[in-house]
Each structure stands twice: as structure tokens, then as C-alpha cells.
Structure 1
Amino acid sequence: MEVKELEEKLEEYLDELEYIKNLSPQTIKNYNASIGKFIKYLKKEKIEKLDNLLNILKKYIIYLKKNKKNLQSSINTHITNIAIFFNHLDISINTKKLIGKDKNKNKPPKYLESEEIDEIIATIPKNNIRDKTIILTLYHTGLRVSELTNLNKNDIKPTDNFKVFKINVKEGKGGKYRITFLDKQTYELIQKMIYKRTRKGRSESENAPLFQSNKMQRISVRSIQTLVKKYAIIADKKRIENGLETKFEDLLSPHTLRHSYTINLLNNNNKPINMVQKLLGHSSIQTTQIYSNVGIDKIKDDYQNVNW
């Protein structure tokens, strides 16, 4: 196969993912990114024919690691996506010869303690209710950032006792739906946010985006990632002023807020792992079990306090 055919084949493949396989926009975007970068690399290297695809992919992996400094986990994802695409074209690739061992796979996830979350929240101006609400909603629900951006106003409903609130989540993975919950305090903050943006007589339907940009459009994933990083940098500057070490710029992201939510449920509140699995939308309980290893220091401390 010639390289110039690949772009056309990619467009056909993306259409199939969307209209036949009904995959989520984020999943389709990921496939497009992986395959698109590979096509760009082929053009850069002036490769016109895929006569020895396995060798080409080996050189591509070296390029990603050596020149682009990609993590092994990221490279494995790219290669898997590329292999699935070529399999669609009836070109088989033996990924066992390409997928490297991810040394970070079993490392415990990074997370923040509740005091550190408070430190971040303290950097947000009091009049910026939206940004505070976004960060607290991520922390108090464990939603993926794409799931947060997909929320509409009518996706949050009160339960019978009005102490917790039900969220109908369209999952970022697979386009499925699940139910999760929100505390009353964060729900009230959401209501304040909505009131602030509509109090000047601006009408808004019940299926309007819950979190909006300054232009009153649905906020993007990139915008949320940027605002979270902004407050991480501000918090680190405040730590420097107080003679403390910096830590948030490398630690804080929407996904570490999801990790922090999970650790808080499992290790600080001792909630059953199968319950946490459902709240997070993990298809496998093995994914959730990674978090249960994080609290080993706490277990050690508790064991030391046992009376024999």
C-alpha cells in the first residue's frame, strides 16, 4: 500500500467508527490523533510505500521515544490504535513485537489530600464561582473531564431526601450512560453559578450546557485543563512566598482530581470497592483496585496502633 492512500482510508475509517460502531467523539479523536501523527511521520521521512510495515513502526517507536520523549504508555496506545486501523485495512500487525513494557503501569496514581484541595480552592477569586465549581465538582464526583464538559443542566436531579443529587453521566468511554452522585454543598454552588450567569435576564433552557465558557458556549476539555493548571501555578507561587516547596504544577490536573476522589472514598471513608467501581464507570474492578494500594502507609500506621 502507498502512503498517499492512507489519508483517504483514515477518513473512511473515522466515518465507520462514528456512524456504524457509534463510538464516542473522544475515542474517535484519539484514533484520529494516533493515526494522523503516524501519517505525518511517514511524510516527514519521505516514506512512500509500506513494504515493510513492521520495520517502519519500529523506527517510529524509536522516534517517539528518542525525539518526542513520549512515555511508554502513550507509545503503546498509539501503536495499538495504528494496529487496529491497519487490521481494518486487512493488514495484520504483530503488536507483541512492538508493545513495550510500561514500567509505570503498576505505580500508584498521584492524588491530593483534602488539605491540598483546600489550598488550591483558596487561590480562586471569590467572584469566580464557575472555576471554583468546576474544580470542586471534579473532586466531589470523580468525573472524567470529558464527562464534565458533556453535562447539561437537567442531568442533575435531587434524590428523595435532597441530601445528595443524582447525575446522569454520558461516559467519555464507549458513549454509555451511568449514574453517579453529588453532595448538597457542591449542588448549591452549581445553582449559584447558574443564577449568576442568568440574573441579567438571560434565558436558558434546561438542557443548556452546565459549564459554559465566557462566550456562553459549552466549555471545552482544553479550557478546563488550562484553568486547573492556572490555579496550580498560582498555588505554587503562594507556597514560594510562604517559604514552602512547590508541588502543584506537576501534580494537579483534572485526572488527579479523579484519583483524589477515588482515594478519598476507598482509603479515608472505607467504601466498598465495587461501589467505587460503579461510581467511576470502570468496566473492570482491576482498574479500581490500583487505587486500593495507595493507602498502604495509612494501613501501616493503623497496624502500629493495634493493641495486642
Structure 2
Amino acid sequence: MVSLLKEENIAVGGVSLDNHLILAAGVLGTTGASLKRMLSLGAGGVVTKSIGPYPKGGHKGPCVQVYDGAVMNAMGLPNPSEDFKVELSGLEGRPVIVSIFGGDPDEFSKVASWFSGMASVRGFELNVSCPHAEGYGAQIGSNPELVQECTEAVVKTGIPVWVKLTPNVTDITESGLAAEEGGASAVVAVNTVRAMRISTAMRRPVLGNGSGGLSGPAIFPVAVKCVYDLYEACRIPVVGCGGISDADNVIEMIMAGASAVEIGSGVLDNVGIFSEICGDLYSEEGENIEDLRGCAHA
């Protein structure tokens, strides 16, 4: 298998990382303790749960269904809003990225202002891609003009801004270019794919919200294609996300054009996934990431 040469100083989109593997938003990023735990277990950086302008309780259950090779969820962006700041104490100097959401540029700016002065925050990730939160997420991300405006609003903090994009659009590069035009330091591809399952026994959707977002290995090919297209269209780094479960998946993402990757659903079955992948990914005989990134492009 192809391997990577471990770098002394890894920086992606203005954010310094311990390695190329990052905990994705919404998975074990709900408390300061869980963020610290994932860093101690080998994550090269962590993204918090998405924080919005007002406290939200989320959708009614069931909120998560696990299938063979896939996870479907409709959490509804539950979060404590500004009170989440207390969870970041004790994480100063660590590679922590705060995921934020809002319904318009002013709300994004408001949420960013709460965290912009904290020593524990190295970057923001704009959630303009959640497919199951009315008025937020993908409703913003499917409009390139709004993506640019929301990005511009948060860039004013002076902190690196990553924009997490939705695959549920005709052309993801339009949103990626809008984020780049707005001053984003990187784009993340992708959030979950819109999905639904119906219980034939109960004759109703299996999720309380009806529909939700699909993640896990089932969407890996979708994520690879999105990374590939964004690498060709954008000048800023692309962070791959979606169904990554082993070191070879990471290499594939890098060959498609990714500068780093985020792992979410893979943590559900194995909290040690970061250290395990790192053990397979890096070697003294490994190749420089600069030589591998985007090599699949003609």
C-alpha cells in the first residue's frame, strides 16, 4: 500500500494539525472531555459539534439508524449555543476547529464573535450543508451567493475559515468557488447525502424527522468525486470527508486532491480509528503528500 511520509509541521487552510486525520463535526465533539479524548486517541485535529445562534433541542427521535456500511441521522443540529464556550477551556494550543451555523450572514457573524477571542480556537468550519435542519445548513449551502456572504461575514474575525459543503446540489464547485471568493481558507467535502428509509412493519419512516442524512462507507465514492471536482476548480485546499474507514481511503482522497481528511461515522465502531489509520498511513519510506495530492488528475 502507498504510505505517507510524516511531516513535522502540518498546516491545512491556515490551521496547524498534529496529523492529516481530523475528527468530523457532530461525532464525539459535544463536550470538552470528548474532544480531548479524541485528540489523545490520535486525531490530528478535532471539529466541534455545530453551534448556532440559539439553543436547539433537535428533532424528535429516533434520530440515528445504523445499517451495514451506512449511518443515517436526523439530529436537527441540537446545541447549547453560546454556553458551549465553557467546553473549550483547557484546550488552548490544541488543533480545535469550531463548527458554526446560522440562517444568514449576521447570525454566522454573531456566533463567530463568541469564539473568535478564545485561545483554544484555531479555525471555524461553516456548516452550510446539514440536510435536515430547516432554515439552516444545506438551505444556505445550495445558494452560492449566500455561501459567499456567510463566508465573508466570518472571515472578518481574522481566524481561518473552512466551509463544509453539501453534495446535494447539481454542481458542488459553484459553492466551492463561492466560498473561495468569500475568503475561505479551505473547503470540506462533503456533509451527508439526503436519505430516507421506511419501516415496512410500522409503515412509516424510521427517523423521527422522516428524512435525514446518509454517511459512512456507502457515500465514500460520492465524497471522492466531490473532492476531485473541487480540486480542479478551486485554488484553496480541499479537506475530504465521507465514509473514510482505512489508510487506503485516505490515500485515495489525497490522490483525488485532498490536503487532509475528516472522519466521523468510522468512530462509532472504533474510537481508536485515528491511531490505527496513522499506524498504516505513515512510514519512513512514505511519499511526500505534495507528490501524491491530486496525482489522479490527468
- Give the TM-score normalised by structure 1: 0.23
Structure (1 or 2) with the larger CA radius of gyration: 1
Structure having the larger proportion of residues in helix: 1
Structure having the larger proportion of residues in strand: 2
- Give the TM-score normalised by structure 2: 0.23
Ranked by relative contact order (alpha carbons within 8 Å, sequence separation 6 or more), the top structure is 2
